[in-house]
Amino acid sequence: MPNKMRVAQIARVNGPLEIVERPIPEPPADWVRIKVQACGICHSDSVVKEGLWPGLQFPRVPGHEVMGIIDAVGEGVSQWKVGERVGVGWHGGNCGHCDNCRRGDFFACTVDLKVTGISFDGGYGEYMVAPTMALARVPKELTPVEGAPLMCAGITTFNALRNSGARPGDLVAVLGLGGLGHLGVQYAAKMGFRTVGIARGKDKEALARKLGAIHYIDSQAQDPAAELAKLGGARVILATVTAGDAMSAVQGGLGPKGTLMVIGAAQSMQISPLVLITGAQEIKGWYSGNAVDSQDTLAFSVMSGVRSMNEVYPLDKVTEAYERMASGKARFRVVLTMGA
């Protein structure tokens, strides 16, 4: 086995992604080493590039949409075996002992909340090490490229929808048809919701319907709130866009006790308190989820046939791949592959 690996690191705030050779790391106790096969490039990786995360240390290898194979295990690891396929997502671990962890709210750990590719090196490279707490089992039906985007874009939409309060048959709208939205429409349809796609322009309609939407609203030509109201009002609107004004424009389309589920990180948004009060509406956010939520996402995706549409780049082209993601023009997720 070679003792060197290639990774793409960022060495300083706003520095380039540079491919460097490093020694292949040994997994500490309760961690495993993973031979990475594929890693999605997520918009959130920009917090590494731009140095936006408090306490972030450079150099750092980004990447929290990881698919790979366990290649070594640290001391004390008994539940995971060499050769097993695993995924690693945003949630990289938690202390397990603080009050929030004891309540099961691992995402809110106050002592040792780890984020993959931020607190420790992520998946833009040939190998990485990860705590067992961060591992999801990968079904054999998924290729590494298929699985990678499901570890962040997938789990974020899947988990938000299944925690939204919507039930089969309810009217559920997905605002935005990008990296998150194109998965959100598929999950919503497969969960048995009457699914509405909302996006800008007539040209997205065919795609929305192909992904499972039974209604489509062109938010440039139509008032999305009025159109949703005509359909009876949405039980849930999953807002995947990053434009606050687009979110504000749909609030009036919520039905009684409807929920605006926000997963797009807009700078700010306006809401009408009067509409909120008289409709007994909720506005709610959702974090992605932990490792077992990832595992549920992968299993549901296999069962239902939900897949991300991806543009694939080799690790050598990481800069081009990152720029493609940042351009917002990718259809729809960008995935790095590590070769052999």
CB of 111 to Zn ion, least distance (A): 5
Part in contact with Zn ion (CB under 5 A); list of ranges 11-19, 150-158, 209-217, 233-241: 150-158
| Cα distance between residue 193 and residue 161, in whole Å | 10
Of residues 72 and 239, the one with the C-beta less far from Zn ion: 239
Of residues 44 and 240, the one with the C-beta less far from Zn ion: 44
| Cα distance between residue 296 and residue 312, in whole Å | 24
CB of 165 to Zn ion, least distance (A): 24
Should residue 111 be labelled a site residue for Zn ion when binding is judged by CB under 5 A?
A: yes
CB of 90 to Zn ion, least distance (A): 6
**Environment class of 196 (CB within 10 Å of its CB; exposed 0-12, middle 13-18, buried 19+):** buried
Which helix (H) or strand (E) covers residue 216, if one does? strand 215-218
Q: Which residues, including other chains, have CB under 8 Å from residue 222's CB and lie 6 or more apart?
A: none
Q: Are 154 and 297 in contact (CB under 8 A)?
A: yes
Total chain residues near Zn ion (CB under 5 A): 9
CB of 104 to Zn ion, least distance (A): 11
Of residues 66 and 173, the one with the C-beta less far from Zn ion: 66
CB of 94 to Zn ion, least distance (A): 5
| Cα distance between residue 18 and residue 236, in whole Å | 42
Of residues 89 and 255, the one with the C-beta less far from Zn ion: 89
Tokens of 230: 């005509």
- Stretch 5-64 residues interacting with Zn ion (CB under 5 A): 42, 44
Helix (H, G, I), strand (E, B) or coil at 338: coil
Of residues 44 and 301, the one with the C-beta less far from Zn ion: 44
> If DSSP states are collapsed to H, E and C, what string results for 140-173?
CCCCHHHHHHHHCHHHHHHHHHHCCCCCCCCEEE
Part in contact with Zn ion (CB under 5 A); list of ranges 105-113, 135-143, 290-298, 317-325: 105-113
| Cα distance between residue 145 and residue 333, in whole Å | 10
For strand 234-239 and strand 215-218, is the pairing parallel, antiparallel, or unpaired? unpaired
Q: Are 310 and 334 in contact (CB under 8 A)?
A: yes
Part in contact with Zn ion (CB under 5 A); list of ranges 55-63, 109-117, 220-228, 248-256: 109-117
- Stretch 70-99 residues interacting with Zn ion (CB under 5 A): 94-95, 98
Of residues 109 and 237, the one with the C-beta less far from Zn ion: 109
Should residue 248 be labelled a site residue for Zn ion when binding is judged by CB under 5 A?
A: no
CB of 68 to Zn ion, least distance (A): 17
Tokens of 337: 């592959």
| Cα distance between residue 241 and residue 264, in whole Å | 5
For strand 194-199 and strand 234-239, is the pairing parallel, antiparallel, or unpaired? unpaired
Tokens of 191: 């969960």
Of residues 39 and 228, the one with the C-beta less far from Zn ion: 39
Judged by CB under 5 A, the residue of 38, 72, 109, 148 near Zn ion is: 109
Which helix (H) or strand (E) covers residue 10, if one does? strand 4-10
Part in contact with Zn ion (CB under 5 A); list of ranges 106-114, 213-221, 318-326, 328-336: 106-114
- Stretch 218-237 residues interacting with Zn ion (CB under 5 A): none
Part in contact with Zn ion (CB under 5 A); list of ranges 110-118, 164-172, 305-313, 330-338: 110-118
Should residue 152 be labelled a site residue for Zn ion when binding is judged by CB under 5 A?
A: yes
Q: What is the CA radius of gyration of the chain?
A: 20
Part in contact with Zn ion (CB under 5 A); list of ranges 129-137, 148-156, 205-213, 242-250: 148-156
* Site for Zn ion, rule CB under 5 A: 42, 44, 94-95, 98, 101, 109, 111, 152
